[in-house]
Structure 1
Amino acid sequence: MREIWVKNGLVFIEEGFREVNIRVVNGQIDSFVKSEAEPLKEEADTVIDAGGCLVVSGFIDAHVHFNDPGRTDWEGIETGSHAAAIGGTTTIFDMPLNCAPSIINSKNLQDKKDYLTSKSYVDYALWGGLTETNITDRKELSQMSAGIIAWKAFMSESGIEDFPFISPDGLKQAMQAAKEHNKILALHAEWNEEIHKLTDFYKQRVGMNERRAFLASRPVSAEEKAVNYALELAAKYGTALHFVHISSAKVIGLIEQAKRSGIDVTVETCPHYLIFDEEDFLKSGAILKCAPPLRPREEVEGLWECLERGWIDTIGSDHSPCLYSMKATDSIWDAWGGIQGVQFTWLSLLDEALKRKISLKQILPLGTSNVAERFGIAERKGRIRPGSDADLVLIRLDESTIVDKQSLAFRNAYSPYEDKEFLLKVKKTILRGKVIYDDQLGVSKGKFGVCL
């Protein structure tokens, strides 16, 4: 039996923050003891002093592209999970595209699982891809379903050749397939036809600022149309839906109405939609290019209002890395769309929430218990309670984190978060009772992450 105590911290449990010591046995939370109670047992293998720290559940990032295998020059699970651990994330769900080949059949899925073994610093699960090319192969989808956390599909072009988007008619089949396998269907929801027409139009606007043209080519209306259509199908087929990286308060309002009508739907937004706006993109360019694009400041404020109302269910980084050369292009249209951010998701969000005087009790579940419950891993992950994995993050609010190039743990050392200062600091990240990151010692040498 391996016994560890985490003592003297202010621990976030279901009732809120409490002064308790945490007893960990064999990687799981065993019990709590009030801080002023009897002294800790001398036979404990390790005692971690969390004095002065908030102790919160390890964050779960359900939306990363670590590109492994096949495009490890872009990132890779070793560097991606290294960065995640530094930022307090202890579990990630890796998307089925940007690796090569994409995860659209059972062979690719098994090959990826085999390849990733013993390469990750954090625990992980894998998404499976639903595309126009595999939605009719029920036997193949059935084989895949047992080994994935959920399905992912695009309603507009993905940018990856072997991951084609699903047409409006094809989405009906995707809805049925997801329902049949009792899996959540996550959607990149932008209406492809509208984007295609607008892109062609704005590319021909001679003299128009290219960055403004890109923003105009992917309006909120494209999200709105895609979400409305998907919600109609979900109501018809009874499919559980999860909309990823929604960028508009108006669209989140539509999803909230659908929830109230009984549709099984949840919504994610990303830190970059809550931190940056279109003026940042116009200034910085491709380093902040993403799809959907960044929105005007009033949309950013609208998203925070939605968050405070409880209308946003989860936060995901949508960490989508690439070579810097793929950003440093002559034309914004040719640049890769994706933001490197998994290391700073919760530093940036908690920093911003504290500045806005939003309760941590309100924001923490968006990266912990809400994610675990939605994706069926709540017995192990997402809460600090007896029986759960001892995934813990120790955070100080009286120390700062300054982001410079030397601190970036990504394979390619650039990020829109560079030069920012966050008024908090991750001191330790603990995965199943093992310290995988210490702000003085760095990331552990051992890779302890396992596939869920």
Structure 2
Amino acid sequence: MSTELWVKNGYVFTEEGFRYASIRIIDGKIDALYECEPEPIKENKNSIDASGCLVVPGFIDAHVHFNDPGRTEWEGIETGSRAAAIGGTTTIFDMPLNCSPSITNLKNLQSKTAYLTSKSHVDYALWGGMTDDSVKNKAELDQMCEGIIAWKAFMSESGIDDFPFVSPGQLEQAMKIAAQQRKILALHAEWEEEIQPLTTFYKRQNSTNERKAFLASRPISAEEKAVSYALEKAAKYGTSLHFVHISSARVVKLIQQAKQSGMDVTVETCPHYLLFDEEDFLQTGAILKCAPPLRSREVVEGLWECIANGWIDTVGSDHSPCPYYMKNTNSIWEAWGGIQGVQFTWLALLDEAMKRSVPFKDILPLGTANVADRFGISGQKGRIQTGLDADLALISLDETTTANQQCIAFRNQYSPYENRKFLLKIKKTLLRGNVIYDDQTGAATKKYGQYIQLREEADGSVPH
């Protein structure tokens, strides 16, 4: 027997913009949108009143490290996905490193897939890892291909022992493999041959201001060199590239030029590069340590210009958590680099967009339709459209949210967003028509999250 649910009287975000409408959901799928409330809804008790709320597609965070299995004291999918749901996110793509062991072979992928079953509050897909070691075994990478959303590789040290970065020579092999598989290759693009000697130099200085020294050890030029090299090789092999956490407009422009030349390449940035700057890092310290590091206020403004130009494709939280003691070290060099923020990504971005008078229509696709289109799940996710999963976030602009420690839902309760006040509130989050978060009752006890695998096209290929 079919189940029916109505989400009534909200301002619904569609391809044409916001519409005052009611959504009919049948068996977890969007069945129809009605501009005016149809007669049957008045007697239908199975409904949610969205009056006064924006109703937007559930957000897709393509860049999280939930560290499960193996490092659940850092996070875990149960706490990480709960925090995501509270922030309006309904789908995450979990990175192949920071779990232990890393997902660089078929056995580890199968073990992780089995382990995560029934543990997530939100739907999830898994990244596969390409490393200097794993690219030598193409047969195994071919076997992993069906179970992953895309490949991830580092062009500089990852900080995880069993996830070595891909050297320039081996990157060519990674490019070839990804191109043959018609799979996206995502890159952490910093040039190790520039970072390593700079890091050694600044550490030896024994500077009284280690925070400034850390910033100097990872300049924008290291991103530029890595991106330029990767684009050159991708053009040679026809590889689909996705650059993650790009921190500078200079680098975005390089990627934009490659797009205009016809290359299949996209770029992600993160909320921390759009909200915080290097002065915040110098004042706050390790809680804002990340790689690439935060940049100057001028660079932050440049990224917002890139968004206005339509040059940035996606935003991901790069939620990279750890216990507080790994941040609370005597030296900034020893502190773990990563930002805890999956719960606050869209609260923060939409709040900032309002303050800047940036239209929501320019921001929302960066975490919805654009992500679904890029990673081949637009037949399931990313829009409020007939036939797609009823993944929704209901947002009130008449209420506020304060990110205090008590409300932080990820495992280790600290964040650079702590004590920030956002001029909006997530009222409800729905995953396939199931309410997984309600601002009055909290996160649902039942976990509805499912594992997403890419569907094959008729010719046997995997879409991207």
TM-score w.r.t. length of structure 1: 0.99
Matches within 5 A, 1:227-238: 227-238=227-238
Per the TM alignment, residue 208 of structure 1 is displaced from its structure 2 partner at its CA by 4.1
Q: Secondary structure at the match of 2:39?
A: coil
The answer (yes or no) to whether the contact 1:7–1:35 under 8 Å persists in 2 is no
Secondary structure of residue in 2 paired with 1:393: strand
Query: Sequence identity of aligned pairs in percent?
Result: 71
Amino acid paired to 2:443: V
Q: Which moved more, 1:74-83 or 1:203-212?
A: 203-212
Q: How does 1:361-372 map to 2 (within 5 A)?
A: 361-372=361-372
How far apart are 1:181 and its partner, in Å? 1.0
* Other-structure match for 1:396: 396
Give 3-state SS (helix, strand or coil) of 2:370's partner. Answer: helix
User: Which deviates more, 203-212 or 96-105?
Assistant: 203-212
Q: Shift of residue 448 of structure 1?
A: 0.4
State the Cα deviation string for residues 311-358 of structure 1 (Å, max 9, x = none).
Answer: 000000000000100000000000000000000000000000011001
| Paired residue secondary structure (1:31) | strand
The SS at the match of 1:40 is: helix
Amino acid at match of 2:28: G
Instruction: State the secondary structure of the residue aligned to 2:20.
Output: strand
- The 5-angstrom pairing of residues 60-71 of structure 1 reads 60-71=60-71
Query: In structure 2, how many angstroms separate the alpha carbons of the residues matched to 1:371 and 1:74?
Result: 26
Q: Distance in 2 between matches of 1:70 and 1:178?
A: 27
For residue 33 of structure 2, what is the aligned residue in structure 1? 32
User: Where does 1:76-115 land on structure 2 (aligned, <5 Å)?
Assistant: 76-115=76-115
CA displacement 1:396-448 (0-9 Å, x = unmatched):
01100011110000101000000000000000000000000000000001000
Alignment match, 1:331: 331
The letter of the residue matching 1:5 is: W
Contact kept, 8 Å, 2:207 with 2:213, in 1: the verdict is no
Distance in 2, matches of 1:98 and 1:236, equals 31
Structure 2: distance between partners of 1:217 and 1:352: 29
For 1:193 and 1:175, locate their aligned partners in 2 and report how far apart those are by CA, in whole Å: 20
Do the aligned partners of 1:3 and 1:45 also contact (CA within 8 Å) in 2?
no
Determine helix, strand or coil for the equivalent of 1:98: coil
**Residue 414 (1) aligns with residue 414 (2):** yes
Contact 1:2 1:45 in 2 (8 A): no
- Taking the aligned partners of 1:364 and 1:242, their CA distance within structure 2 comes to 19
Alpha-carbon distance, 1:40 to partner: 1.1
CA distance in 2, matches of 1:62, 1:412: 21
| 1:442 alignment counterpart | 442
Separation in structure 1 between the aligned mates of residue 45 and residue 59 of structure 2, nearest angstrom: 25
Q: How is 1:214-363 mapped onto 2 (pairs within 5 angstroms)?
A: 214-363=214-363
Q: TM-score, normalised by structure 2?
A: 0.96
Q: Which amino acid aligns with 1:340?
A: Q
How far does residue 206 in structure 1 lie from its aligned partner after superposition? 3.3
Distance apart, 1:34 and its partner CA: 1.8
Unaligned residue ranges in structure 2 (runs of 5+)? 453-464
Change (3 A) 1:148 1:207: closer
1: CA distance between counterparts of 2:13 and 2:125?
25
Deviation at 1:36, TM superposition (A): 4.4
Amino acid at match of 1:21: S
Instruction: Report how far residue 35 of structure 1 moved.
Output: 2.5
The residue type equivalent to 1:27 in the other structure is G
Q: d(CA) in 2 for partners of 1:36 and 1:22? A: 9
Helix, strand or coil at the partner of 1:8: strand
How far apart in 2 are the matches of 1:60 and 1:269? 14
CA RMSD in angstroms, aligned pairs only: 0.8
User: Shift in Å at residue 46 of structure 1?
Assistant: 1.5
Deviations 1:241-294 (A, max 9, x none): 000000001000100000000110000000000000000000000000000000
Q: What is residue 374 of structure 1 aligned with on the other side?
A: 374
Tell me the distance in 1 between the aligned counterparts of 2:334 and 2:30: 49
Aligned mates of 2:133, 2:37 — CA distance in 1:
61
What is the number of equivalent residue pairs in this alignment? 451
SS, match of residue 216 in structure 1: helix
Secondary structure of the 1:29 match is: strand
CA distance in 1: counterparts of 2:11 and 2:213, whole angstroms: 49
How far 1:38 sits from its partner (Å)? 3.0
Asked whether the 8 Å contact 2:60–2:382 carries over to 1, the reply is yes
